[in-house]
Amino acid sequence: MKAIDTAIPDVKIIEPTVFADDRGFFFESFSQVKFEAATGLSPTFVQDNHSRSGKGVLRGLHYQLPPRAQAKLVRVVIGEVYDVAVDIRRSSPTFGQWVGVLLSEENKRQLWIPEGFAHGFLTLSDRVEFLYKTTDYYAPESDRGIRWDDPTLAIDWKTAIDDLTLSGKDQRQPLLADAEIFD
């Protein structure tokens, strides 16, 4: 397992060591010891989530406020997504910046998203199954979001945005300037 810094160093791409042969492949999708060695971080994960979506589904941008803030380790087991993390920590030198990474069943990459970041993804294949480990439980009272198409963020979703499927909740999220975010 190795960790690769992104343009925002707190967000990391995790590449597992994959053993493949004519039978298929094997890899450890998570090992606490190897994750700590690769990243220098020692999160405690308390919840695993699994979502399934069709092509053109955009989920996000979501986060939870303290005291129920969540860090996430996300990956794709079927299909392909464009995964985005946005720094929403006002005191951060990278506040308002975002990184996007292609995650797929083929590349087996994962993305580490620390507390203080909004997260979202756009599905690029007909079927996507997406897994995420979180460091706190889902807490509706702390659940917040930002619009996926906020012009100040100018996220390049890497695809035509003509025919997306979003939840009503995600369509109504505030712009970053109006959102309740981290200090």
Q: Tell me: the pLDDT tens digits for 114-131?
A: 999 999 999 999 999 999
Q: Which of 135, 154, 5, 13 is nearest to 83 (CA)?
A: 13
pLDDT score for 123: 97
Per annotation, catalytic residue among 63, 82, 119, 132: 132
What does the pLDDT average to over 15-31?
94
Q: Which CATH number fits domain 45-178: 2.102.10.10, 3.90.800.10, 1.10.3720.10, 2.60.120.10?
A: 2.60.120.10
Least confident of 44-53, 82-91, 151-160, 173-182: 151-160
pLDDT score for 89: 98
Q: How far is CA 166 from CA 108, 145, 157, in A?
A: 25, 13, 14
Our answer to whether residue 138 is catalytic in this structure is: no
Residues 6+ apart with CB under 8 A from 75: 29, 103, 108, 109, 110, 111, 130, 131, 132
Question: Where in the chain are the domains?
Answer: 45-178
pLDDT score for 110: 98
DSSP assignment of 95-135: TT-EEEEEEETTT--EEEE-TTEEEEEEE-SSEEEEEEEES
pTM: 0.95
Per annotation, catalytic residue among 62, 63, 119, 138: 62
pLDDT score for 32: 96
Our answer to whether residue 119 is catalytic in this structure is: no
